[in-house]
Structure 1
Amino acid sequence: MLKLHGAERHDHWEKVPASDLVVTSYALLRRDIEKYLEYEFAVAVLDEAQHIKNRSTQNAVAAKKIRAQHKLVLTGTPIENSVADLWSIMDFLMPGYLSNHKAFREHYELPISRGGPDGELAQLKLRRKLHPFLLRRLKREVAKDLPEKIQRVAHSTLSKDQYLVYKELLESSRRKISDMVAAQGFNRSRMQIFKTLLRLRQTCCHLELLKLPDLKSEFPSAKMDLFFELVDEALDARHRILVFSQFTSMLAILRRELEARELKYCYLDGATKERQSIVRQFNTDRSIPVFLISLKAGGSGLNLTGADMVIHYDPWWNPAVEDQATDRAHRIGQKNTVYSVKLITKDTVEEKVLQMQQRKQGVISATLEKEGEFMQALTWNDVQELLSL
């Protein structure tokens, strides 16, 4: 086996023809694609193939240039945004099998996204085309001894202070966005829309995330109160907890509160250097009951079977990412039932996001039984629903 990584990889290109297996990363494949074009491989295998789901990225463009007699892909999330992800993956495996992207969008993606009889027919046709080339294995099929995973939503409310800020932000943003869309069109207004949705979601988490200089709140987060109620109950039952948030600033607040309560914890975000040593510390030291983790940095690639409870402090647009995060604990090696709790603030954008995810998840489930994110496919009707609270 030849591993081509690091600066010294350039000293080993002459070993490629004599090697049975050549391993590299997507980032280095992009950089070295011209060297790889000098060879034809018997088999090209892409692991975590969702890295090529976007047809226009450098990952996808480079991977599709590889010359190989046979091609395989492995992925736990073949669809993350929409069924268009499948087109890009199949375009690597069998170029032209799902036609060109324009035709695929017209005959499959758009009808499926619109729903109705035409959408159901398009789903059926796509499922039939994919079925001969898809081998799917569910965790319950390959890890039959794995304990149960119990998932639930825990609802909080806005505190009085949060409600006043949320209401003012919502009303002012709704007017501003409507005027902007009328003047500039929806696509040119996307950045302002995403910024508004971000601010609303931050308000649901904790008012401190907004960094408003003149805001002094006695009750900045009803959700955090609920969170520590759940933590206290879990610790009484001797559970150990993974806590995921997309906001490192929210994790910083939770760190501060844990320290005030003299609770030991581990912490991991994108800036963490010794990831595996911290993971090992948590898994082996049962005196540490809580692990705070940035969703983006620690939502995949870690084995954290030392925990048997997962709390998602704030909902991410893509439930498949949340599922992967939960599966840091619910994986081979776990001996206990895993409890996964998603914290959602009632009568806010979080509840609307959850409802829209569930609808879009149904569309993807009917195609491939997998979850999906909707941020990039967000429509003006979606935005109006999100801001209709």
Structure 2
Amino acid sequence: TFQADLREYQIKGFQWLHRLSVWGVGGCLADDMGLGKTLQAMALLLHRAPDGVGLVVAPTSVCTNWEAEIKRFAPTLNPVILGGANRAERVSGLKGFDVLIVSYALLQIEEELLGTVVWNTIVLDEAQAIKNRMTKRSRAAMALQGHFRLMTTGTPIENHLGELWNLFRFLNPGLLGSLERFNERFAIPIERYRDREASQRLKTLIRPFILRRTKNQVLQELPPLTEIVLHVEMGSEESAFYESLRQRAMAALEGADDGGDGQNHLAILAELMTLRRACCNSRLVQSDLVLPSAKLETFKDVARTLLDNRHKALVFSQFVGHLTIIREFLVAEGISFQYLDGSTPVAKRKESIDAFQSGVGDFFLISLKAGGVGLNLTAADYVIHMDPWWNPAVEDQASNRAHRFGQMRPVTVYRLVTRGTIEEKIVELHAQKRDLADDLLEGGDMSGRLSAAELLGLIRMPLNGA
């Protein structure tokens, strides 16, 4: 029995998944973040459990969450986390009502073992993890065999249409044709030429296999989300340091936009990374150079205000070094916090999350890629993004750790953006990236990938924006 009261839209989601499983085709549950995709997938796993073993593949950070949720809401299922020794023995001993939970990292390692089993139901959670067809992770996912394939992801398209093609290669192989044919029919016309007719044809083709509902459509009772950009002004020393790095990058990359995109892309991205670090703190570029950091000072002001008003906040950065600097400040001030990055062991992650949710810690410092998906952190009502990531979908996923089911208070999201720098250009790109996904899922205009010349254009902008 399923021990959760599903909302009406979740019941419809379960029914949709069940219909697809009867028809023998795969489906992508692409509901907005925080709408209970795990719950709907779990309901389907329970419904299909008498017919065989289920497999859930998820990011490392949420494997224990899957185990806990199954025990709570579907206790007749038996969750088994794959790990430790005797893995082959554990897999061969699985039976009906068992659900094997595997991280994407372990899927790569045990590709052969997991590929020999014909699973009754396969769930790829946060399926954007296999968006890149060239990765070992994608190859391992494609090797899985199953009667019904389900993906859950709030972001089925993050950067370009090639990602969508790869997701459908797992779900319903052959539906979108070969990659070459897909690029010819859809990707190039849509991304390069904004072809509305090609976009409509693709939308019609994939619509039966993707179900997406947004918070605005189904969750009137969810508290409001307010997003605020805090513009940070560098001081004279910090701005001089940033400008010297920008000038050095320009000199190093002279002529880099004249064809030969592959190598040039890597060289330009390396320089962009240095500039993005410099926007945060000089120590992230040159560890012995301690200049006043406008961003750190802004964070200190925000943190003290939040503490004075008894708020709790999630603090995200893509740079672990940036979190280390923030951590130093919190320790010096005697401010209680939790911490999570890619190196945090699974058991410690769960311990930190549970502690924060039960009231231990005013701030939770989280590296964007390690804790941006799958976590429930509704004890926080503020989210602070210390540095903008290239793709807004990744930031939105992170913000929705707080703005989701169970949140009773309005949520405020702060984005710290340094004026007149590469960060402002990244934020401008966010709108274009959102359009790419919205066009196929909801409606809007498309945007393509950035060429070497366009990337170089980001560096050419001086500090004053002239």
Compute the TM-score of the two structures, normalised by the length of structure 1. 0.88
2:430 is matched with 357
The one-character-per-residue Cα deviations of 1:239-282 (angstroms, maximum 9, x if unpaired) are: 11111111111112112222333322222222333112222222
Once the two structures are superposed, what CA deviation does each residue of 1:7-27 show, in whole Å capped at 9, x if it has no partner? 2232234434x4244424234
Q: How does 1:104-143 map to 2 (within 5 A)?
A: 104-116=182-194, 118=195, 120-141=196-217, 143=219
Question: Alpha-carbon deviation of 1:199?
Answer: 1.1
Do structure 1's residue 23 and structure 2's residue 100 form an aligned pair? yes
CA distance in 1, matches of 2:118, 2:355: 44
CA distance in 2 between counterparts of 1:369 and 1:381 reads 30
- 1:10 is matched with 88
Q: Deviations over 1:30-52 (max 9, x none)?
A: 44444455444444332222222
Matched with 2:276 is 201
Q: Tell me, yes or no, if structure 1 residue 163 matches structure 2 residue 239.
A: yes
Indicate if the aligned counterparts of 2:342 and 2:369 stay in contact, CA closer than 8 A.
yes
Residues 1-389 of structure 1: pairs in structure 2 closer than 5 A:
1=78, 3=80, 5-6=82-83, 7-16=85-94, 18-25=95-102, 26-116=104-194, 118=195, 120-141=196-217, 143-182=219-258, 185-211=260-286, 213=288, 215=289, 217=291, 220-273=292-345, 274-285=348-359, 288-369=361-442, 377-389=449-461
Gaps of 5+ in 1: none
AA aligned opposite 2:305: E
Question: Cα 1:315–1:4, aligned 2, differ >3 Å: closer, same or farther?
Answer: closer
Cα 1:31/1:225, change in 2 over 3 Å: closer
1:229: Cα distance to partner? 1.9
CA distance, structure 2, for counterparts of residue 216 and residue 51 of structure 1: 37
d(CA) in 2 for partners of 1:127, 1:81? 17
How many Å apart are 1:186 and its aligned residue? 2.7
SS at match of 1:56: coil
Any conservation in 2 of the 1:112–1:363 contact (CA below 8 Å)? Answer: no
Q: What percent identity do the matched residue pairs reach? A: 38
Cα gap change, 1:163/1:13 in structure 2, threshold over 3 Å: closer, same or farther? closer
Letter of the 1:230 counterpart:
V
Instruction: Report the more deviating stretch, 67-76 or 170-179.
Output: 67-76
Post-superposition shift, 1:377? Answer: 4.1
CA distance in 1, matches of 2:375, 2:82: 21
Between stretches 140-149 and 170-179, larger displacement belongs to 140-149
CA displacement, residues 144-172 of structure 1 (integer Å, 9 cap, x when unaligned): 43211111211111211111111111122
| Partner Cα distance (1:13, 1:251) in 2 | 39
TM-score (norm 2): 0.75
- Give the partner amino acid of 2:460: S
TM superposition shift of 1:88: 0.8
Counterpart CA distance in 2 for 1:370 and 1:157 is 36
Residues matched between the structures, number: 378
Contact 2:341 2:370 in 1 (8 A): yes
Structure 1 partner of 2:59: none
Question: 1:87: Cα distance to partner?
Answer: 0.5
d(CA) in 1 for partners of 2:332, 2:106: 44
Q: Is the 8 A contact 1:246 1:314 kept in 2?
A: yes
SS in 2 for 1:243: strand
Q: Which amino acid aligns with 1:387?
A: I
Which residue identity does 1:129 align to in structure 2?
Answer: L
Alpha-carbon distance in structure 2 between the residues aligned to 1:107 and 1:114: 12
Contact 2:157–2:436 (CA under 8 A) maintained in structure 1: no
Structure 1 window deviating more from structure 2 (136-145 vs 231-240): it is: 136-145
Aligned 8 A contact 1:243 1:292 in 2: yes
C-alpha deviation, 1:54, in angstroms: 1.5
1-structure distance, mates of 2:154, 2:433:
18
Alpha carbons 1:77, 1:370 under 8 Å: kept:
no
Unaligned runs of 5+ in 2: 1-77, 462-466
| Aligned amino acid, residue 197 of structure 2 | L
Q: 1:329 & 1:20 partners in 2: Cα distance? A: 32
**Cα RMSD after superposing both structures:** 2.5
Contact 2:88 2:113 (C-alpha < 8 Å) held by counterparts: no
Residues 205-235 of structure 1, C-alpha deviations (whole Å, 9 max, x = no match): 111211164x453xx2112222222222222
2:379 aligned partner, one-letter code: G
